[in-house]
Structure 1
Amino acid sequence: MSDDDSLRNPFPHRRSPYHAEATELHRAWLERHPLLHADGSVGHTGYAHWDVVDLAALGYPDSGPEELALAADLMGFYFLFDDQFDGPLGRRPAEVAAICDRLAAIIHGAKPDPHSPAETAFDDLWRRSTLGMPARWRARAAYNWEWYFASHPAEAAGRISERPPDRDGYLALRRGTAAMETIFDMIERLGRFEVPLAAHHHPLLRQLRQLAADIPSLSNDVRSYPKEAPTGDVNNLVMIVQRERGCSADAACTLVMAEAQLMIARCADLVTQLPEAYRMLSLDQDQQERARRYATGLTDWLAGYLHWEARTGRYRVA
């Protein structure tokens, strides 16, 4: 897929100016939690070309140095944790479940294994992410992290199954493994505010949040298809559309991107409706501002991710 095939996005991307400071902090974090190599080195082939800090800077453009470093550490964890399942381990669901169960237990107070970089890294991320946040936010964040971890055993089972998922099954699993709800929780954490409950669960904002989560998954499926197809990773919408339509991979990619483009148009429409929804909820000025900041955070993430994805070396096939 070329950059010319990228989605047309009406939301402008912005970038935090603290890239250099966050890069140094992120490197130090990787050295403390050596996720990149089993031997503890930080020289993961290609990692520097993924521009993980730039994704954080684009996704959370109003973040200061410390907040941006936390976001970069989260991005690095998502990618590197997910990548460990690309090999033989990712076809052993019971072992994947054991790993994920131990990580989920940290949310509820379990001590990490000091010899497990994944556990010490997540313990650090969970502690820093929840620091100073209200109980309701922590409860939501805990649920979303559990959802993320618990989705990986099902993904591993899918790799060895002779029954590829249908569209509904794909969405149910992809929405877990994509970790987007945890990413969106960080809009509030990094901005140090909480969305009013009535606004957070209003149908319009729920729709915007779901679309902002699904669009990157569709675009990512197209970009990662050349890497995933040879490995038997079946949880990819391009493969599902191929089966549904009986078409070529190229045609399926075009259809998936067209679907994502329609979803972007729906996002733009929803954004115009939100101010009236806030007024109908009788939110005061402060509540409306917090809801507005959250909605802007969703579209900032969407714009930033799409800009980053078109340029990162992560999805290029040698």
Structure 2
Amino acid sequence: MSQGISFPACKYHCMEWKYAAFIYIESNKTCLCGSEEYTNNVEYASSDENTGLVYGVRETTVLTSYVQAFLTVLSLYELGYAEDGVYVIQPKEGVDIEVWCDMSNGGWTVIQRRQDGSEIFYRNWDEYVNGFGNTTGEYWLGLKYINILTTIGSALYIEMETFEHDNVSPASAFAEYSTFKVNDETDKYRLTVAGFYGNCFDCLNAHNGVRFTTFDNDNDLRGGDNCAVMFHGVIQRRQDGSVDFYRGWDEYVDGFGNTTGEYWLGLKYINILTTISSELYIEMETFEHGNVSPASAFAEYSTFKVNGESDEYRLSVSGYNGNCADSFSNHNG
């Protein structure tokens, strides 16, 4: 028996301890978990045969219907749960979601975490709808759950840090949006975002009102082009000679340079990115005073894969299309 706690706290406490029933007496804020003495007493409780739970709310001597209280990360934080970690929340009746809760910063639901490249984020539509990854590591919560969470007023907070050896300033940044909502599947999970505040560029404003797109479900505004395919990821950029590309093995494995300028992503990361079906697009331009015709060219390969370190990052490339010489096919295998 616990006294002086709220109804949501009673519900969570009893379910956390795997009791099959509980009641809550509103008049004296008393919580009773799984006790037949009380749950079989109609003066104190009513039962719901559909859920198998027994609960009651009593004001003085009059039995009333209980008030449904759904659990969110913020409500858990307000109940005194202060430790970061994985919790099960219930933002909607019949919907239980396992999420990572950031309690140290005030009770935020983590909808995405990317930290070490261990998870592939170039995924199909169904995976982005249902979620993927591991809540204790890299993961995406799932559009259908983010839609449920943002049906009430919600904010979005984005925290970013550079990798250990990146020469980027500042080393960390944040962006916060006072309005954040994702519509349901009938609207292709259209994004609503506004009220930017942060110490970095507002990169989400341009996506306000835009529907979600994956490589197999194109809902963007670019006509025949698919943004998910076009902006899959730049693995190398050479533009002004500011970075030396004559490097040793370890540097080519780990990557080097500055992602805002000239850089090489790193073989170990390209291997991870190409474990699922991938394409390679190469775009080339002459320098300003270069007397070369044409001034720009492109090459595209419908199949692109880099094996792991045990195979010394062997290249697989085929399906050439472009307006320049096919210089990669000779390196296939």
- TM-score higher than 0.5: no
Instruction: Give the structure with the larger strand fraction.
Output: 2
Instruction: Give the structure with the larger helix fraction.
Output: 1
TM-score, normalising length: structure 1: 0.27
Larger radius of gyration: 2
- Higher relative contact order, structure no. (Cα contacts within 8 Å, ≥ 6 residues apart): 1
